[in-house]
């Protein structure tokens, strides 16, 4: 490729990378604040770069640039209590006098158990309660793990309470605590009043015809269409027959349909026509809130026979696990500090490649910048929360890309030192290094996929981020970097000097 063509191509590539870097990392003003208090205390509005819009894990926190109202990071925590189990504080406040109930201290007085309900009149939890709690715990784990969100923690404490933490990045954390605490099989009611207590239960049937809820409801799931989230409730033929019969007069008069779990309402609908098919319910749902509602109904089908309910304690706000740096009135979040450290590593890597390979180092720098931009776009689009796992995956992938490029450069350097032309050196160098680099990427890609498929929580997020990082590293090293080497080398009249390659000096025998 001639100098002019190389210059044009390299300029276009550099401009594209510069624009992407600007959009991904650089905040810039887009207008003045019109109303006092808008966008925090900033005098003008800012464009938030893509990196600010990526989800943040519970470990790291940061404010959007110019908008202190939008804080990412940290999370929420709550303790869930099965029916008949109260905290020591609640016992001290009113447990001894509430409705004449008698309580038994448990776990060294950390919680108190209703002697009649939980202990069946004795001093220890009954087998019925233990079985119910085991079913509730299994259901809770299934519900929270179904959110596939980094930063979720479920832990049994004091024998019969469940401590749950959710990241603030989840849109509906508080709703998840509330809905997921509902225990018992789902029921469907219909009436002419907005008051659910005045409605008639139609599913499951009552009396001698009563069957498990799973005989009427197949399950519930989430559907997304053009940005709108729906909760789909799928009924069996028997369930649809009962719905159709109950709503036969809905067209002539207003009717109301309620879906409850454990006696608590999760869906309320105004019905204006007879129901013949499965329900597709939209409204103000986000993807997260729709998933919470659907999952509450779906998992409740496994709770047939569980009569003990569950309640939530006080919700506690958790700050990000890693504190920032504060010097006087100036403060940097922990996440900002991580970005600065990654930036310093990038500078150190750039210096190494420029010193070792002179102008050829720019080929690697451009490859790495594009790799970084694409990783950020992936984190934002999927989304993958930025936390310890993703940062570690990004650093490991960056090292892999740097090592792979350096290996190819060193093979080409050796070939050039033996007297080959620069073009022949590059071809032979990449040919000799190809399988070393390729095999390393395949092995790491398999490990990353395995971690993603079998792990949960943060390890799963790490595996997913590493999978993308390794794949992009392979494409960058074996494809893009070689192309950029070819383009940048066309700008120099002395490719060997351009790459800082030297010939071996061989003395003539006398």
Q: What is the pLDDT of residue 79?
A: 92
Q: What is the pLDDT of residue 507?
A: 46
pLDDT bracket for residue 435 (50, 70, 90): very high
Considering 318, 342, 361, which residue would you say is the last residue of a domain? 318
281 and 312, same structural domain?
Answer: no
Q: What is the pLDDT of residue 223?
A: 86
Whether 169 has a pLDDT exceeding 60, the answer reads yes
Taking only Cα atoms into account, the Rg of the chain, rounded to an integer number of angstroms, comes to 31
210-246 residues labelled b (16+ CB within 10 A) or e (exposed):
eeebbbbbbebbbeeeeeebbbebbbeeebbebbeeb
Whether 251 has a pLDDT exceeding 80, the answer reads no
291 and 313, same structural domain?
Answer: no
Whether 459 has a pLDDT exceeding 70, the answer reads yes
Euclidean distance between CA atoms 115 and 124, whole angstroms: 8
Mean pLDDT, rounded, for 248-270: 86
Mean pLDDT, rounded, for 313-332: 68
For residue 204, say if its preceding peptide bond is cis, omega within 30 degrees of 0: yes
pLDDT bracket for residue 436 (50, 70, 90): very high
Considering 270, 293, 318, which residue would you say is the last residue of a domain? 318
State the CB neighbour count (10 A cutoff) for residue 154.
17
Q: What is the pLDDT of residues 347-389, one digit of tens each?
A: 999 999 999 988 889 999 999 999 999 999 999 888 787 878 8
294's CB contacts (< 8 A; 6+ apart) are 220, 221, 222, 231, 232, 233
Q: What is the pLDDT of residue 62?
A: 53
311 and 291, same structural domain?
Answer: no
Q: What is the mean pLDDT of the chain?
A: 83
Mean pLDDT, rounded, for 203-219: 87
Q: What is the pLDDT of residues 281-296, one digit of tens each?
A: 887 888 888 889 999 9
297 and 309, same structural domain?
Answer: no
Query: The domain that contains 220 carries what CATH number?
Result: 3.30.1360
Euclidean distance between CA atoms 111 and 81, whole angstroms: 10
Place of tokens 């740097």: 402
pLDDT bracket for residue 41 (50, 70, 90): very low
Residue 117 backbone phi and psi in degrees, to 5: -75, -50
Whether 96 has a pLDDT exceeding 80, the answer reads no
pLDDT bracket for residue 23 (50, 70, 90): confident
State the CB neighbour count (10 A cutoff) for residue 367.
27
Q: What is the pLDDT of residue 348?
A: 94
The gap from C-alpha 1 to its chain's centroid, in whole angstroms, comes to: 45
Element of type H or E holding 110 = none
Mean pLDDT, rounded, for 96-116: 81
352 and 311, same structural domain?
Answer: no
41's CB contacts (< 8 A; 6+ apart) are 68
Residue 295 within a domain? yes
380 and 269, same structural domain?
Answer: no
The pTM assigned to this predicted structure is 0.60
Provide the domain limits for residue 395.
Answer: 3-25+329-498
Q: What is the DSSP letter of 426?
A: H
Euclidean distance between CA atoms 182 and 266, whole angstroms: 9
Residue 58 within a domain? no
Q: What is the pLDDT of residue 72?
A: 55
Query: The domain that contains 380 carries what CATH number?
Result: 1.20.1640.10
> Do 283 and 297 form a contact (C-beta atoms < 8 A)?
no
Q: What is the pLDDT of residue 98?
A: 54
Q: What is the pLDDT of residue 254?
A: 76
Residue 386 within a domain? yes
341 and 487, same structural domain?
Answer: yes
190 and 161, same structural domain?
Answer: no
314 and 232, same structural domain?
Answer: no
Whether 238 has a pLDDT exceeding 50, the answer reads yes
Residue 510 within a domain? no
Q: What is the pLDDT of residue 456?
A: 65
Euclidean distance between CA atoms 289 and 185, whole angstroms: 20
Considering 246, 267, 302, which residue would you say is the last residue of a domain? 302
Total domains, the chain: 3
Q: What is the pLDDT of residue 228?
A: 82
Q: 22-36, 43-57, 365-379, 415-429 — which one is most confidently predicted on average? A: 365-379
Residue 221 within a domain? yes
Whether 97 has a pLDDT exceeding 60, the answer reads no
Q: What is the pLDDT of residue 42?
A: 44
Residue 354 within a domain? yes
pLDDT bracket for residue 38 (50, 70, 90): very low
Q: What is the pLDDT of residue 457?
A: 63
pLDDT bracket for residue 165 (50, 70, 90): confident
Q: What is the pLDDT of residue 500?
A: 79
Q: What is the pLDDT of residue 61?
A: 58
285 and 310, same structural domain?
Answer: no
Whether 56 has a pLDDT exceeding 80, the answer reads no
Helices 334-357 + 361-381 axis angle, to 10: 150
Strand partners, 106: 111
Mean pLDDT, rounded, for 424-452: 92
Euclidean distance between CA atoms 352 and 469, whole angstroms: 22
Whether 430 has a pLDDT exceeding 50, the answer reads yes
Residue 362 within a domain? yes
Residue 398, CA atoms < 13 Å, CB-side half-sphere: 24
310 and 282, same structural domain?
Answer: no
Report which of residues 53 and 272 the model is more confident about: 272
Euclidean distance between CA atoms 366 and 374, whole angstroms: 12
Mean pLDDT, rounded, for 148-157: 79
What percentage of the chain exceeds 90 in pLDDT? 32
Q: Which of 247, 346, 282 is nearest to 21 (CA)?
A: 346
> Do 465 and 393 form a contact (C-beta atoms < 8 A)?
yes
404 and 483, same structural domain?
Answer: yes
Residue 66 within a domain? no
Q: What is the pLDDT of residue 349?
A: 93
Please state, in angstroms and as integers, the Cα–Cα distance from residue 437 to each residue in 98, 175, 238, 399, 496, following that order.
70, 48, 60, 13, 24
Euclidean distance between CA atoms 84 and 103, whole angstroms: 9
Q: What is the pLDDT of residue 151?
A: 67
Whether 431 has a pLDDT exceeding 50, the answer reads yes
Please state, in angstroms and as integers, the Cα–Cα distance from residue 114 to each residue in 182, 232, 358, following that order.
20, 38, 76
Q: What is the pLDDT of residue 313?
A: 86
Burial of 336 (0-12, 13-18, 19+ CB in 10 A): middle
Report which of residues 460 and 168 the model is more confident about: 460
């Amino acid at each position: 490729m001639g100098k002019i063509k190389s210059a044009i191509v390299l300029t276009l590539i550099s401009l594209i990378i510069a624009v992407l870097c600007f959009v991904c990392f650089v905040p810039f003003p887009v207008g003045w604040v019109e109303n006092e208090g808008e966008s925090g205390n900033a005098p003008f509005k800012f464009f938030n770069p893509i990196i600010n819009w990526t989800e943040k894990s519970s470990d790291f926190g940061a404010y959007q640039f110019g908008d202190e109202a939008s804080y990412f990071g940290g999370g929420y925590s709550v303790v869930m209590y099965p029916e008949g189990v109260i905290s020591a504080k609640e016992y001290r406040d009113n447990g001894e006098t509430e409705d004449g109930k008698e309580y038994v201290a448990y776990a060294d007085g950390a919680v108190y158990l209703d002697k009649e309900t939980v202990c069946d009149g004795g001093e220890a939890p009954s087998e019925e309660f233990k079985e119910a709690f085991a079913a509730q715990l299994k259901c809770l784990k299934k519900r929270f793990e179904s959110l596939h969100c980094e930063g979720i923690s479920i832990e049994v404490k004091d024998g019969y309470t469940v401590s749950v933490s959710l990241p603030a990045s989840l849109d509906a954390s508080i709703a998840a605590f509330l809905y997921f605490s509902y225990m018992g099989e789902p029921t469907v009611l219909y009436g002419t009043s907005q008051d659910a207590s005045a409605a008639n239960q139609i599913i499951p049937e009552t009396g001698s015809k009563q069957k498990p809820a799973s005989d009427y409801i197949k399950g519930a799931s989430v559907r997304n269409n053009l940005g709108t989230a729906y909760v789909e409730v799928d009924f069996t033929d028997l369930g649809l027959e009962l719905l159709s019969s109950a709503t036969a007069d809905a067209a002539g008069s207003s009717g109301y349909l309620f879906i409850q779990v454990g006696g608590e309402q999760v869906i309320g609908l105004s019905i204006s026509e007879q129901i013949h098919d499965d329900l597709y319910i939209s409204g103000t749902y986000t993807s997260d809130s729709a998933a919470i509602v659907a999952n509450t109904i779906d998992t409740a089908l496994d709770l047939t026979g569980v009569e003990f309910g569950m309640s939530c304690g006080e919700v506690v706000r958790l700050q990000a696990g890693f504190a920032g740096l504060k010097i006087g009135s100036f403060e940097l979040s922990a996440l900002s500090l991580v970005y600065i450290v990654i930036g310093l590593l990038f500078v150190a890597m750039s210096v190494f490649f420029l010193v070792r390979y002179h102008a050829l180092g720019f080929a690697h720098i451009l490859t790495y910048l594009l790799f970084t931009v694409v990783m950020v776009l992936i984190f934002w689009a999927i989304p993958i929360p930025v936390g310890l796992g993703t940062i570690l995956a990004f650093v490991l992938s960056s090292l892999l890309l740097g090592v792979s490029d350096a290996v190819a450069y060193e093979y080409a350097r050796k070939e050039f030192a033996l007297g080959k032309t620069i073009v022949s050196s590059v071809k032979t160098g990449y040919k000799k290094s190809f399988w070393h680099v390729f095999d390393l990427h395949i092995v790491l890609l398999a490990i990353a996929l395995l971690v993603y498929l079998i792990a949960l929580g943060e390890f799963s997020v790490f595996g997913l981020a590493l999978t993308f990082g390794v794949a992009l590293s392979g494409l960058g090293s074996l494809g893009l970097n070689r192309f950029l080497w070819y383009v940048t080398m066309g700008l120099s009249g002395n490719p060997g000097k351009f790459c800082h390659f030297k010939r071996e000096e061989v003395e003539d025998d006398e």
